[in-house]
Amino acid sequence: MKRKAKQAALDAAQALQAESAQNTQTDFRGFRRRAERMTDCVIDAMFPRHAKTPAAPKRMLREASKHLVRCLSTVLSDADRAEAIAGTFFGALPEVFGMLRADLEAAYRGDPAAHSVDEIILCYPAFFAICTYRLAHVLYRAGVPLLPRVMTEYAHQKTGIDIHPGAQIGEEFFIDHGTGVVIGETCTIGRNVKIYQHVTLGAKSFNVDGSGALVKGIKRHPDIGDRVVIYSGATILGGETQIGNDCIIGGSVWLTHSVEAGKMVLARSTVTDAPLTRDVMHASVLDSALL
């Protein structure tokens, strides 16, 4: 039995090797590991007092540079462009760090359970997800394929928070608890926005072309204004959906239309013996200034 299993494994390896030889696509072996390690090194360099690896920031950034250049050389055929983008990425770190400091301050102000900024850095999964998103967004804006997605999926696996690197998110951003949050590629979020767990900022529907294939590269996700609070379980969908400044979106709300600035939207249930229809659960829009 052992010989048969060994021979079967050898036969499978030979077949897979033959199949691989016919595949001329890019070799991504080690790509994910390098992307993840690069992300960890940069975050450790920005917050050395809380680093997983007790090493000097310069050492962390040197290692990050090595991994980044290797990753860029995998997805970009132009070596000069890869070097230029690496320079752009590291040149953007002071700006990214400034935004993260503002995010930390917003988290500390917005959560009574947070007793220090150190606690947020060490204990809040959302902060790691936001750090990773902001780093990946720099590469996304530079037109780097694949790598930004691998970075944010690393954070997704670790935290349960799925932020597409293409989303545009302003400063002072805070996700409380965070598990199950989804933020789509074409979503825009203003300054000083706070969202809770299981919030989805997604697409309402997908357009298809004449052949039935999905149309890509169009606006699919909502725009969220400044100083908006979105409570747990809320779902906001659609590329034309705009949530105005200073709105409050209550828990479990389902929204596919725009909301004017300064409004509160609550889920309201109607008790009825009739069969369940779309009208049984609906949104009640109130003026938040009156509440």
Question: Residue 251: exposed, middle, or buried by beta-carbon count in 10 A (0-12, 13-18, 19+)?
Answer: middle
Q: What integer pLDDT is reported at residue 283 of this predicted model?
A: 59
Q: Which tokens hold the place of 116?
A: 């220090």
For residue 205, give every residue at least 6 positions away whose Cβ sits within 8 Å of its Cβ, in sequence order, or none: 238
Angle (nearest 5°) at CA 53 between 48 and 59: 70
Largest CA distance in the chain: 78
Q: What residue type is assigned to position 197 of the chain?
A: Q
CA-to-CA distance for 101 and 112, rounded, in angstroms?
A: 18
Q: What integer pLDDT is reported at residue 281 of this predicted model?
A: 39
CATH class of domain segment(s) 30-161: mainly alpha
CA-to-CA distance for 96 and 194, rounded, in angstroms?
A: 19
Q: Which candidate, 196, 137, 128, places its Cα nearest to that of 167?
A: 137
Mean pLDDT by 10 residues, the chain (291 residues): 76 73 76 98 97 91 97 95 96 98 97 96 97 98 98 98 98 96 98 98 81 80 98 97 97 96 83 39 51 40
Q: Which candidate, 174, 124, 133, places its Cα nearest to that of 151?
A: 133
| Domain 180-291 grouped into CATH 2.160.10.10 | yes
CA-to-CA distance for 139 and 151, rounded, in angstroms?
A: 10
CB 226 within 8 A of CB 246: yes
Q: What integer pLDDT is reported at residue 206 of this predicted model?
A: 72
Domain ranges for the chain? 30-161, 180-291
CB 193 within 8 A of CB 236: no
